[in-house]
Amino acid sequence: MTQEAKRAPLYLQIRDYILEHIHQNKWQANDRLPTEAVLADQFGVSRFTVKNALSELVKEGLIYRIQGKGSFISPTVTEHEDHSLPQERTVGAFRPIVFLTPSIQSTLSSNILAGVEEVLSDHGYQIVYRSTRNDQEIERQALQECVRMGARGVMIFPVDGESYSEDILRLTLNKFPVVVIDRYLRGVDTNCVCSDNAGGAFDATSHLIELGHSNIAFVALHNRTTTSLEDRLTGFEKALTKHHIPVDHRRCLFELLAEHPPKAEKCDAIRDAKSLALSFLDRNPDVTAVFAATTGSGLAVMEAAEELGIRVPEQLSVIFFDDYKHSALSRIPPSCVVQQEKEIGAEAAKLLLSVIENPLQERRQLTLPTRLVLRNSTAEARK
């Protein structure tokens, strides 16, 4: 490495290092990068510095990261005809589509992204990933940057708690191609692709009723509310009403968890969720089944039940929205509502391409059905 290269910002050094390996056909799309420890040793810096550098490269769309697995070459990098260094690329060949998501590392976002890439890779567009870190101000700035950078379109997974966005509305009214993913925004008529959250909740609750349960609770423990969570509550209530079971709001735990500093947020949120679930189950000893609106809520209920000596599913059936990795290998494999995550991404990409081609078309909201996966956390009600 030359002295001039060593004086460049670290992420530029790593970027050039990656592109040189691509140019020499040593690395291909989706190849895994060396670990942070290896890169830190190679460039003579701390792992913290490398982590920050890699985060910058994620923002540029050069790499993507999968939690627990590492960093990988973005497929969009190898789509350039000559794989040359950034300053040598032909600017006209760069046709970016921006994907904004609260967390690039979440399983949901990763699966949606896989569907997006599968569609866009055949149409000559480059995907630029940007994490909004679940922050509305970062999201607002990112949307403004999309226009300045000349993005051809935007797919956005809104931050939690966002029910209305002037920036998304403004882009939509200006005929800028935008597709909202996973949830819709009330009062904002825009293109949207999401799951049938109400239908999934209805099916899950109906399954509990078919097992003979009538004392069924709804639990949603989350940092912020979303339209998807609200729709799941609606689906839950509709199922009860259809089967002539009164809706008892004392059995509905829709609780917003306290915000915590980023470094402590995950462990503190888990602790808070379990504490709320413990208190809720203790107050409602007659409840025989729970529909939980999120994976975290469902796991909190199951852990709380175990601590209280309540056996799942013999004494308490639990079903929740969204699956998680290796769930079938859990001590009690959970019954859950599964979303078509990859298909959501693919349909969002197809819709965006259609809007890019014809910005004046009528706006569309596509809703994909969910499916029930029944395992060992639900059983017939005890008589």
- In this structure, how many other beta carbons lie within 10 angstroms of the beta carbon of residue 196? 18
Domains of the chain: 10-77 (1.10.10.10), 96-195+342-368 (3.40.50.2300), 197-259+269-339 (3.40.50.2300)
CA atoms within 13 A on the CB side of 188: 24
Amino acid making up residue 171 = L
How far CA 367 is from CA of 198, 284, 319, in Å, comes to: 11, 35, 22
Phi–psi pair at 80, nearest 5 degrees: -65, 140
Structure confidence at residue 149 (pLDDT) = 78
The predicted pLDDT at position 223 comes to 64
Cα separation, 362 vs 253, in Å, equals 39
- Packing angle between helix 262-283 and helix 295-307, nearest 10 degrees? 60
Q: What is the pLDDT along the chain (383 residues), one digit of tens a residue?
A: 444 444 455 666 776 777 777 777 778 877 888 988 888 888 777 777 787 778 777 766 777 777 778 888 876 665 543 433 343 333 344 688 999 998 877 788 889 999 999 999 888 888 888 889 888 899 999 998 888 878 889 999 998 876 678 888 888 888 899 999 988 887 788 999 999 999 999 999 999 999 999 999 999 998 677 889 999 999 999 999 999 999 999 999 998 775 444 444 556 677 889 999 999 999 999 999 999 999 999 999 999 999 999 999 999 999 999 998 899 999 999 999 999 999 999 999 999 999 998 888 999 999 999 999 999 999 999 97
DSSP 106: S
Question: Residue 10 has what pLDDT?
Answer: 63
- Cβ atoms of 147 and 209 closer than 8 Å: no
